Amino acid sequence: MPRFFSNKRLILLLIGVIVLVALISFSLKDRQNATLPEQIVKDVVGFGQSIFSKPAHYITGTLDKIDGILNTYEENKHLKARLKEYASTQAELADVKADNKKLREIVGKEDSLRDYEPIQATVISRNPDQWEEKIIIDKGTTAGVQLNRAVITANGLIGKVVLVTAFTSTVELLSTENSNFRVAAVIPGEEAIFGLIEGYDSARGELIMKRIDSNFDVKEGQKVESSGLGGIFPKGLLIGEVTEVSTDDFGLTKLAYIRPAADFSMLDHVLVVQRSTGVTSGTDGIVPGEDEEGEDGS
């Protein structure tokens, strides 16, 4: 026993354990006020936490902001790409709608083509030097296109085929400066008024209808159609509308300026038409004073 108490280390250990247990039991009690040591410890720990937590929170917040900025940048980049894609899609949709409308008009026109057979085609090329002269379409002999076939849009007559290959065709427009290009035309009414479309006034943007009998009273606003005389252009294809009437240089006949029904500057979808009877040359009638269409280009 004396030897036990003589071991100072053991005694200090026991005292420390007793004090620790006492402190623990004391701290576990429900108290409203902390003891001085607890206050010191808590204040020191709280101060240390505040010193380290503020910079840590600042750094964390900064990193979060940087991450948010990066995410925002990526999202903004993605959204811009989507907006471009959306704009492109909208443009394509508008183009498809426009094409669909024109094709629907052409389909409606096909339904009314009772006297001739239509071949739908698309304009694929147009020479800037001959913008008002000729166009090239994507249908040729393999599709049944032949020389001297009339070509129209949903609005009216635009010209005829002058050159054909296996897969393409060249169309000469009514707005050509070729003096040999003539179309037998008629102004329908109680009494039909015949004449020839020969010539184009580029300054006015209008066709010239000549050889109109001076005894007929031609008025502004009257419609002009193909007469069907000559064999190339089927009867009843709308050409345009009379805007002005005058006499020719000799005063023996009248001439009229015709506003084209079709827009020659905006051509994309067209129809190549031919008579169901298969007539290709001027054998079915000639307008008085008119050369045969199969020979002079009308």
**Model pLDDT, residue 288:** 36
DSSP string, the chain: -HHHHH-HHHHHHHHHHHHHHHHHHHHTS--SS--HHHHHHHHHHHHHHHHHHHHHHHHHHHHHHHHHHHHHHHHHHHHHHHHHHHHHHHHHHHHHHHHHHHHHHHHHHHHH--SEEEEEEEEEE--GGGTTTEEEES--GGGT--TT-EEE-SS-EEEEEEEE-SS-EEEEETT---TT--EEEEE-SSS-EEEEEEEEETTTTEEEEEEEETTS---TT-EEEE--TTSSSPTT-EEEEEEEEEE-TTSSEEEEEEEESS-TTS--EEEEEEETT---SS-S---TTPPPHHHHT-
Per-residue pLDDT 10s for the chain (298 aa) are 455 445 777 788 888 788 777 766 666 555 555 566 656 655 665 666 566 666 666 677 777 777 777 777 777 777 777 776 666 666 666 667 777 777 767 666 655 544 577 899 999 988 877 777 899 999 999 999 999 999 999 889 999 999 999 999 999 999 988 888 889 999 988 888 999 999 899 889 999 999 998 888 898 999 999 988 867 788 888 999 999 998 876 778 899 999 999 988 888 899 998 766 544 444 333 333 334 344 344 4
**Model pLDDT, residue 29:** 59
Q: How far is CA 234 from the centre of its chain?
A: 33
**Model pLDDT, residue 68:** 73
- 197 neighbors 182 (Cβ within 8 angstroms): yes
So where are the chain's domains? 116-276
CATH of 116-276, one of 3.40.50.300, 1.10.3470.10, 3.20.20.80, 2.40.10.350: 2.40.10.350
Distance CA 156, CA 274 (A): 15
- 285 neighbors 265 (Cβ within 8 angstroms): no
